Amino acid sequence: MSENLNNYLDFLNIQQKDAVKNTDGALLVLAGAGSGKTRVLTFKILHLLVEKLAYPSQILAVTFTNKAALEMKSRVTNLLNYPIDSMWLGTFHSLSAKILRQHSEIVNLKPNFVIIDSDDQLKLIKQICEREKIDTDAQSPKLFLSKINGLKNKGIFCESIPLHIHKKNPEIKKIYRIYQQELVRLNCVDFGDLILQCIKIFTIDKEICFKYQKLFKYILVDEYQDINLVQQKWLEILYNGNKNICCVGDDDQSIYSWRGAEINNLLNFEKNFTKPEIIRLEQNYRSTKNILKCASSLIKKNDGRYGKNLWSDNDVGEKISVRGFWQTKEESIFVSDVIEKLLHEKESLKEIAILFRVSAHTRSFEERFISLGLPYRIIGGLRFYERKEIKDVIAYLRLVNNSNDDLAFERIINVPKKGIGKTTIQKIYSIARLEKISMFEASNILIQDSNNKITNEIRNFINNINQWSNLKNKLNHIDLVQLILEDSKYIAFLETEEKKSNNPENLNRLDNIKEFVESLNDFENLEGFLEHVSLVMENNTNTSDSTISLMTIHASKGLEFDYVFLAGWEEGVFPSKKSVDELGKIGLEEERRLAYVALTRARKKVYITYVNQNRYSYASHDFNLPSRFIDELDKNLIEIVDSSYFVNNDLIEEMNQSNQFQENYITPGRKRLLSKINKNEDDWEFNQDFELIENYSKSIKKGSRVFHQKYGYGNIISFEGEKAEIKFAKSSQKKVFLKYLKIID
């Protein structure tokens, strides 16, 4: 290439060429999926250097990952055939760190400051809360950390917290102020500070600000749709020197609001920069015409977008296949069957991906692939049985099944946290070695003749394990797991954790547990399940380069594959009920952008699947509707096949005229379903094992602990005929039919 630098523009289409040659002023390049945005940025840098419009040191190129920065640098270096080490190329954080180290004294830091991670941030805030006597039960350190990081992402200093935030949480201003003082004292910064303190330097010292404004003759920004408010402010300050900025992004691929990304930065580009030009890259080089048209038909339903008309010279390609299934097992069998067929046709596994809205949904696919010997990898996450919350619950089950399991004991003795620290565990371990007994037995010895907070917690733990062990042969193993999850307060712990985080990858823990419970339905007893897990963990190692890729849609951004399976397209799952409920139209539009990203990962073929049975309720009488996004796809470009299971399953006849089954659903299967729903809810029984309700009613009494499929665990308060008044742990007091209840004790 270096020999043909005079002809480098010939490698670009007309729109790409215009974007590369447009160097003066503000430019927004709206780059559709697969339209070659990285190519444009690379050639833009090349153009500035070849035409001698700037030295490498005068170019500021901002990427979102260090990997992207290295790839871009490598491409330009290979094209030029000489190094460009002096160019300012990196992430917002790495570039800000470089500036901050040169001028750290202005913000009372030394040049050798340390960048702390989130764990260290949390430790520091915990120390502050303890010192300031903050009630951490009412206001957790994690919540303070989340609030502080959120304020920094918006460019808000501790001195300038808006009144409405201060009123809502009076302690946040004090904690934020002390936290910043502690960072300075320790000569530390967090990631948010890297940019914020940089802005502070520019604000305090106008000479330094002017120096960098003049230095950066050209500013290039990748993935502009994903920047937050403080990054936008940083860019605007530096832009005000030479006023040459080129931002490349796609308003239809803005999917990171949970980490502070503001799509309005892109949509308001014309307000933020002086007389900008907008160039659209609309030729897609990745996907077939059908995939592209189908994705476009979906994203056009969004209002918050500039709008593009993507087109392709590629083949028309196959229609998008939409398949409905009754159970998750059928879904995974279908996908594996298609993959086996593709293998037979000599297609490579590395060109196959399965994308999920919720990471918990990988479980059924992982088990299917392991059983078939199909190699796979999880991108951007852990395999299902390697996830912390799953390993925690399995440890509980192992200990209930075998109290001599020291590894399980050590893992969950303090989960959720009970104040049982390493010192106490070491004491238990020492007793166990000395007496040649299990740690569980040793813990009994430790608590003898002792009555303090720690020993009481251990005593309660031991009693729980013993109680669950006694119930092991009396309760269905699924009910037993539900009981353990509730009595151990593990579910309550996860629910609390969920409230403290907006990261979707962290919000999936409860879904993982629900998926875990659902998986138990495939086994006759607890021992069988534990043996299965052991075998799964033993056989899940894969060293092959050619593997099926499993990942969330968020993790798939920027990737592409020949064949893409989009699993779990059910209403409430995708779009996410949580996102729509909390953010309304804004949340729905981001979910739709996520669907658009998913569709445009594929080159040749897309399969969309949904499951009719509630994924998280074994033996459930609840049904999922296919995602509304399926309804929004161009009907001429898709082929829908409903599950015969769903259409013909006897349980359908036992459904009532539920509000979730209304007339606006689209598939032929839905029409058939509606015609079959004709019975009253009271006609079906929760427990089919009960022969006579009157005999059953004699076995329960006032105070009995019971389980209800919908409302969970509770205690009977009173009786009225065939109904009982129940005080539910996680719901209001309700009257329910006795036949819907299972006795726990």
Q: Is 457 a catalytic residue?
A: no
| 382 Rama sector, left if φ>0, alpha if ψ -120 to 50, beta otherwise | beta
To the nearest 10°, the Cα dihedral for 587, 593, 596, 597? -110
- The answer to whether the Cα torsion of 566, 570, 575, 579 is positive or negative is negative
Beginning with the edge strand found earlier in the chain, give each strand of the sheet holding 705-708 in spatial order: 734-737, 723-728, 712-720, 705-708, 741-743
List the catalytic residue out of 193, 222, 511, 591. 222
Count of other CB atoms within 10 angstroms of residue 110: 11
From the list 16, 42, 180, 223, the catalytic residue is 223
Q: Which of 38, 77, 496, 709 is catalytic?
A: 38
User: Residue 443 is which amino acid?
Assistant: S
The CA distance from 122 to 179, in Å, is 10
CB neighbour list of residue 110: distance below 8 Å, 6 or more residues apart: 104, 187
C-alpha 81/C-alpha 284 separation (Å) is 29
DSSP calls for 404-461: T-HHHHHHHTTSS--S--HHHHHHHHHHHHHHT--HHHHHHHHTTT--SHHHHHHHHH
- Choosing from 142, 411, 592, 601, which is the catalytic residue? 601
Point out the catalytic residue in the list 16, 58, 231, 253: 253
For the record, the structure tokens of 633 come out as 């796809």
**Distance between CA 63 and CA 65 in Å, rounded?**
6
Give the full edge-to-edge strand order of the sheet including 376-378.
376-378, 548-552, 352-356, 561-567, 602-611, 320-325, 638-641
Cβ proximity of 452 and 460 under 8 Å: no
Q: Where are the beta strands (DSSP E) in 14-68?
A: 26-31, 59-63
In the block, residue with structure tokens 């809502």: 168
Name every residue whose Cβ is closer than 8 Å to that of residue 43 and which is 6 or more positions away in sequence: 8, 9, 11, 12, 16, 20
One-letter amino acid at 652 equals I
H helical segments located in 51-112: 66-80, 92-102
For this structure, is 223 an active site residue? Answer: yes
Please say if 327 is a catalytic residue: no
Question: What 3-state class would DSSP assign to 634?
Answer: coil
DSSP 261-302: --HHHHHTHHHHSSS-EEEEE-B-SSS-HHHHHHHHHHHTT-
What's the residue count for the chain?
Answer: 745
Q: Is 200 a catalytic residue?
A: no
Q: For residues 702 and 717, is the Cβ–Cβ distance under 8 A?
A: yes
Q: Copy the structure tokens of residue 741.
A: 């209840």
Q: What is the DSSP string of 119-173?
A: HHHHHHHHHHHHHTT--TTTS-HHHHHHHHHHHHHTT--GGG--HHHHHH-THHH
User: To 5 degrees, how large is the angle CA 157–CA 162–CA 168?
Assistant: 115
Rounded CA gap, 125 and 141, in Å?
6
Supply the Cα-derived Rg of the chain in whole angstroms: 29
CA distances to 461, 609, 631, 642 from 355, in Å: 40, 11, 19, 20
Cβ pair 503, 258 in contact under 8 A? yes
Cite the active site residues: 37-38, 222-223, 253, 601
